[in-house]
Amino acid sequence: MAEYDNIRTGRHCLFVMHAHLVFVTKYRHKVFNDRHLTRMEEIMRAVCKDFECELVEFNGETNHVHLLVNFPPKVALSKLVNSLKGVSSRRLRQEYPELVRHYWRAQRLWSGSYFAGSVGGAPLSTVRQYIEQQNRPL
């Protein structure tokens, strides 16, 4: 029962639902540095809060990011992903004009696809450790 210490409650349910999300930049361009990733984490935490989700872990490299999200059953994962990608793309391109030059035609930061994996088979500590070990740019 130790792994269920963080059971969340809804009005009529108890739940522990985690997803591992990976977003890749359009054309796999290597555009992020530590400053971009730090700001992106702040933006994504705010979006998760709006959806009553918790961003448990966040990290990334120059061309992709990993997220570990704890979400309630009432949230459609595809809607959460669309908001995370849309809001982060818009805000980062507004705040960091140097990102726009990579995508002058596409006007998007992220590739249209994403990875979403249900986390439950592997212990969360293993997934968290994997995300922490990403080679974050300096």
Nearest of 18, 43, 28 to residue 95 by alpha carbon = 43
Note the pLDDT tens digit of each residue in 115-131. 999 886 677 788 889 89
Q: Which two tokens stand for residue 119?
A: 């986390």
Residue range 2-12: average pLDDT? 74
pLDDT (0 to 100) of residue 112 = 94
Backbone angles phi, psi at 79, to 5 degrees: -70, -40
Residue 88 is predicted with a pLDDT of 97
3 has a pLDDT exceeding 60: no
Least confident of 40-54, 85-99, 122-136: 122-136
pLDDT digits (tens, 9 = 90+) for 63-83: 999 999 999 999 999 999 999
Q: Around 61, how many Cα atoms within 13 Å sit in the side-chain half-sphere?
A: 12
Residue 92 corresponds to which tokens in the numbers above? Answer: 């980062």
DSSP letter assigned to residue 59: E
Mean pLDDT to the nearest integer, 11-21: 89
CA distances from 121 to 19, 44, 71, 125 (A): 11, 25, 17, 11
Is 1's pLDDT higher than 70? no
